[in-house]
């Protein structure tokens, strides 16, 4: 993995490169970024750059013996730790290393759901167990084999329970030229004893433009499709890639049709429409609802006079502007709340016909009767 293969994050890349050039490499670093920001890919690219035998001004060479091993995730001084679904108490990350390499090489923007699909997870909880902690201590007690550094990339330290305290000594006083690169998404879920011993590197969510441009240039998406995926993904490149694989990626016409049926109080037609939604499949249903949430939020911005913050293609913007003349912020927030609940229930395999019919009736009441739940979370316009 080279820096040039990672979407955006120019400032973070430069900071990492400068730390090597200026010999300011901290022995324990925490890459903290939301899902789909590329924090894991950045950690791997950084490790490759540190070990590269012919470092370029802004990247590893990609051709030396070290880089070639890194490209297969098979360098003897590169180690990984990650949550897994243990079948036996003595299972460690090494038990699943082949699946890990396959998953990470296929999807550098890995998330836990994708990783789960490579394993026989059943109903087990993912975690990093005490056996893995002991394995980490053992393999990092040796000197680097052929590189300047021995590097451990620990993905999702949030899944370290109290057993993680066994790592404190080796994190604080590692062997010479041993680096810990922790890659996390939720700072609040990391043991404070570990957090206090690491140098924080914040990885921001990707911008709309970065995702859209990457989808066009590297994944050959049309401008309209790339724009919609960038908009729906909300800075999460993993989500953008997953949605790109779905059969139906155009949700705007479908969502506006739904709103119009609700506004016109066409109950019989709504039943047919709900039947159509129920046959879309769970992932498409989730993406459809997510699109609706984002679209209605953009309408809120238009109503509030913040049109310069709206990211919608021209045709969708025109529709949003028309809808904004007949809706108010209170109604929009009520619809968003219903859609967020719907997304929650779709994820948990609720009956789609019952779910979408209920949401339709709620939206119908908001639009036609201009009613919304009472409470201080809804602001009258």
- 264-295 pLDDT, tens digit per residue, is 888 888 888 888 888 877 777 887 888 888 88
Q: How many residues does the chain have?
A: 381
Whole-number CA gyration radius for the chain = 24
Structure tokens at 64: 């030396």
Spatial distance between the Cα atoms of 293 and 309, rounded to a whole number of angstroms: 16
Structure tokens at 249: 């990626």
pLDDT value at residue 376: 40
CA angle 218, 222, 226 (to 5 degrees): 70
pTM assigned to the model: 0.71
pLDDT value at residue 373: 53
pLDDT value at residue 159: 86
Q: Which residue has the tokens 């000594």?
A: 169
pLDDT value at residue 372: 52
Cβ within 8 Å of residue 350, ≥6 positions away: none
pLDDT value at residue 318: 81
194, 160 Cβ separation under 8 angstroms: yes
pLDDT value at residue 147: 84
Q: Order across the sheet with 178-184: list the strands.
A: 78-81, 150-155, 178-184, 28-32, 199-202
Structure tokens at 315: 């045709």
Cβ within 8 Å of residue 218, ≥6 positions away: none
Spatial distance between the Cα atoms of 327 and 381, rounded to a whole number of angstroms: 9
Pairing of strands 28-32, 199-202: parallel
pLDDT value at residue 378: 43
Closest CA to 231 of 202, 247, 257, 209: 209
First to last CA, the chain: 50
pLDDT value at residue 68: 94
pLDDT value at residue 381: 38
Burial-class residue 247 by CB neighbours within 10 Å (0-12, 13-18, 19+). exposed
Residues of the chain with pLDDT under 50: 248, 375-381
Q: What is the DSSP string of 48-85?
A: HHHH-SS--SSS--S-SHHHHHHHTT--TTEEEE--B-
29, 231 Cβ separation under 8 angstroms: no
Long-range contacts of 64-69 (CB under 8 A, 24+ apart): 66/146, 66/147, 67/2
H helices present in the chain, as ranges: 10-21, 39-51, 65-71, 97-106, 112-117, 130-139, 168-172, 192-195, 208-217, 223-233, 237-244, 252-263, 267-278, 282-303, 314-324, 329-347, 352-368
Pairing of strands 28-32, 78-81: unpaired
Backbone angles phi, psi at 29, to 5 degrees: -125, 145
Q: What is the pLDDT of residues 191-238, one digit of tens each?
A: 888 888 888 999 999 998 899 899 999 888 888 788 878 877 888 898
């Amino acid at each position: 993995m080279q820096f040039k293969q990672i979407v955006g994050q120019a400032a973070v890349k430069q900071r990492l490169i400068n730390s090597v050039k200026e010999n300011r490499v901290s022995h324990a670093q925490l890459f903290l970024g939301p899902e789909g920001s590329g924090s894991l890919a950045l950690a791997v690219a950084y490790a490759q750059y540190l070990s590269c035998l012919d470092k370029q001004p802004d990247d590893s060479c990609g051709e030396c013996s070290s880089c070639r091993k890194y490209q297969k995730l098979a360098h003897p001084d590169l180690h990984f730790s990650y949550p897994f679904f243990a079948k036996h108490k003595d299972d460690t990350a090494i038990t699943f290393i082949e699946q890990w390499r396959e998953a990470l090489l296929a999807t550098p923007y890995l998330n836990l759901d994708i990783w789960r699909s490579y394993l026989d997870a059943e109903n087990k909880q993912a975690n990093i167990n005490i056996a893995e902690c002991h394995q980490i201590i053992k393999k990092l007690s040796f000197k680097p084999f052929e590189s300047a550094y021995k590097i451990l990339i620990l993905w999702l330290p949030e899944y370290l329970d109290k057993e993680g305290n066994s790592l404190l000594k080796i994190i604080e006083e590692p062997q010479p030229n041993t680096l810990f690169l922790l890659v996390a998404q939720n700072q609040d879920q990391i043991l404070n004893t570990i957090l206090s011993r690491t140098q924080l590197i914040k990885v921001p969510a990707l911008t709309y433009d970065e995702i859209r441009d990457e989808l066009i240039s590297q994944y050959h998406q049309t401008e309209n499709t790339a724009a919609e995926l960038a908009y729906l993904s909300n800075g999460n490149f993993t989500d953008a890639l997953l949605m790109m694989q779905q059969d139906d990626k155009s949700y705007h016409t479908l969502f506006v049709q739904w709103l119009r049926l609700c506004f016109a109080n066409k109950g019989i037609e709504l039943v047919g429409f709900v039947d159509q939604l129920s046959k879309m499949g769970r992932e498409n249903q989730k993406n459809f609802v997510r699109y609706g949430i984002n679209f209605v939020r953009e309408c809120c911005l238009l109503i509030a006079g913040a049109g310069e913050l709206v990211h919608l293609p021209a045709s969708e913007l025109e529709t949003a502007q028309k809808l904004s003349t007949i809706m108010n912020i209170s109604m929009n927030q009520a619809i968003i709340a219903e859609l967020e609940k719907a997304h929650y229930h779709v994820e948990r395999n609720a009956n789609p016909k019952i779910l979408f019919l209920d949401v339709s009736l709620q939206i119908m009441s908001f639009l036609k009767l201009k009613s919304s739940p009472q409470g201080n979370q809804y602001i009258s316009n």
